Structure 1
Amino acid sequence: MRQPEEFAKEGKEHMVCKLDKAIYGFEENIADQCIYLKTCGSRFIFLVLQVGDILLAINDHNLLKDTKELLSNNFEIKDLGEVVFVLGIEIQRGRAQGLLSMSQKTYIERILKRFDMSMCFGQKVPLAKGDLKKEHYPKSKEEEEKMRNKRYASLVGSIMYAQVCTRPDPALCISKMGIFQSNPGMQHWIAGKKILRYVQRTKAYMLIYRCTENLELVGYVGANFGKAEDDYISTSGFLFKMAGAAVAWKTAKQSGVSSSTIFSKYIAFYKATSHAVWLRNFIKDIKVVDSISRPIRIYNDNTAAVFHCMNNKISSIL
């Protein structure tokens, strides 16, 4: 811990401060300051902080025992054993098959109960074309008054948490729902109930990670071109996979109107590449995934955009 500015005494500028109750021996991840790593030869342990909760991931049980002892000697802690639920996420293991899965079925069931949809019928798709439009804003004082009693923002936020943690599939719908939070109409509310019907049918969906000798990060990116009927702004999306399942994803409207398909794809590619750089730094600092030193493959479905990314030149295919 460095000395504060103007605190150092002359001749002692090289000295550092001792931080009481720090967890000495752990290195902070440069990309995510809530993750710490400690290594002892080939043994390693990760310490993941989330407010008042701590998760430990290890490859050696003796190191785990020593770390718990270190923590209990310096902090007041309660050991809850092997994690099953954390932050609404259920973790299941299939050690014989080398599997680890994450789901939010219990959390989704609580959402459905909160909005009186526990017994609703499932729906195959979250939304259909035309379900969310600006023309669906309230058109009368009566409708505005009726919408005041609808928990639209709460519905969006509740599903958004599941989408951020384990459910990339409704990301586009939640992104579009969020646009209308300032003044939702009855049709927007009905669209939200449709998404609840979709998560009712898919509440048992989970991310399943498989043990593999070739850990490789792979990305997929795409964009539509001006498909939004209200403002003609394209939507970008990317997803990165590792160990057989998604580890990062995002869907969002672009900041402005693109002049062509290639540029809407190019913007999406830029956003995905920026996130890939962050993931590379994060995984590199974990120090247990050697494959991250290789180039990250990112797939795009537009030949012209790929050409432009590689050459940054104009050609006849643009």
Structure 2
Amino acid sequence: MGFQKRPYEPTLFVKIGENGKMLIACLYVDDLIFMGNNKGMFSYFKRSMMNEFKMSDLGRIHYFLGLEVVQSNDGIFVSQKKYAREILNRFKMQHFNPTNIPVEFGLKLTKAGRGKKTDSTFYKQIVGSLMYLTSTILDIMYAISLVSGYMECPTAMHLLAAKRILRYLQETKDFRIFYEKGEKADLIGFTDCDYAEDQDSIKSTSGYVFMLGTGAVSWSSKKQTIVTLSSTEAEFVAATACAC
């Protein structure tokens, strides 16, 4: 049908028509969402797919793989409010005191940790559930990156840090990313890093976020693969990761 698969995302397909017409389709198993700027391309695509496969047209997207989407005349809101509440209920954290900071200031985690060893399966369930929330909640990326390094042998201290992220969700579960309609959408990126903050490997952590207008579209926080010998070198590594 004239679509081209994107090399950086194998489930994303783009079709370019005349005079700037565009249709973008994204697949996940048996779910399909698409967007574009031409109603004629929409209609032709839906007819073609329904002739080939048994499909249902559910109209405008409202819920997709845990993502909640609200479209209005002002723009588009994206969130994971329902999923965040489910996590809080699953781990019985819905009645704990909320906090407005996902990581305790100055927290230093190590593999040795403090306190008794805790159930690693339970710890992995918490961290794994939180990882999926980073699809829309970008300000927990660093915290998730921090606690995910101790899933093999977690201690009470590691579990406490993971539960603090859940308490932060209690405070921010209703937050949403807003992509404003009709605004000048400049792509702006920010990057930064710490220096040798990992107590076990002495590695630094890089982070970046890209904003398209009012909304974030890409973000990351992960440990650098090499040991840098200065804060300047760590900054160069972070900037390179951001540019790539």
Deviation (angstroms), 1:149? 7.2
Q: 2:8 aligns with which of 11, 31, 38?
A: 31
Question: Cα distance 1:175–1:74, how it changes in 2: closer, same or farther (>3 A)?
Answer: same
- Aligned counterparts of 2:93 and 2:100: Cα–Cα separation in 1: 16
Contact residue 153 and residue 181 of structure 1 kept, 8 A: yes
- Correspondence for 1:114: 90
Contact residue 89 and residue 103 of structure 1 kept, 8 A: yes
- Aligned counterparts of 1:229 and 1:26: Cα–Cα separation in 2: 48
Deviation (angstroms), 1:36? 1.7
Are 2:232 and 1:258 aligned?
A: no
Deviation (angstroms), 1:235? 1.1
- Correspondence for 2:152: 182
3-state SS of paired residue (2:125): helix
- Correspondence for 1:123: 99
Contact residue 137 and residue 183 of structure 1 kept, 8 A: no
Contact residue 137 and residue 184 of structure 1 kept, 8 A: no
Question: Which runs of no fewer than 5 residues in structure 2 stay unpaired?
Answer: none
Larger Rg: 1
Deviation (angstroms), 1:45? 1.8
Q: Report the residue type matching 1:159 in the other structure.
A: L
- Aligned counterparts of 1:201 and 1:131: Cα–Cα separation in 2: 23
Contact residue 238 and residue 272 of structure 1 kept, 8 A: yes
Mapping for residues 4-153 of structure 1, pairs under 5 Å: 24-42=1-19, 43-95=21-73, 97=74, 99-128=75-104, 129-130=106-107, 132-136=109-113, 143-144=116-117, 147-148=118-119, 151-153=122-124
Contact residue 131 and residue 187 of structure 1 kept, 8 A: no
Contact residue 212 and residue 243 of structure 1 kept, 8 A: no
Paired residues, number: 242
- Aligned counterparts of 1:225 and 1:131: Cα–Cα separation in 2: 13
- Aligned counterparts of 2:15 and 2:203: Cα–Cα separation in 1: 46
- Aligned counterparts of 2:240 and 2:17: Cα–Cα separation in 1: 39
Structure number having the greater strand percentage: 2
3-state SS of paired residue (2:15): strand
Deviation (angstroms), 1:186? 1.2
Which stretch shows the higher mean deviation, 30-39 or 249-258? Answer: 30-39
Are 2:131 and 1:154 aligned?
A: no
Question: Cα distance 1:44–1:119, how it changes in 2: closer, same or farther (>3 A)?
Answer: same
Question: Among the aligned pairs, what percent are the same residue?
Answer: 28
Q: Report the residue type matching 1:69 in the other structure.
A: R
- Correspondence for 2:243: 273
- Correspondence for 2:176: 206
Contact residue 211 and residue 243 of structure 1 kept, 8 A: no
3-state SS of paired residue (1:169): helix
Q: TM-score scaled to structure 1, two decimals?
A: 0.72
Q: Report the residue type matching 1:219 in the other structure.
A: G
Question: Root-mean-square deviation (CA), in Å?
Answer: 1.8
Q: Would you identify which runs of 4 or more consecutive aligned residues in structure 1 move more than 6 Å?
A: none
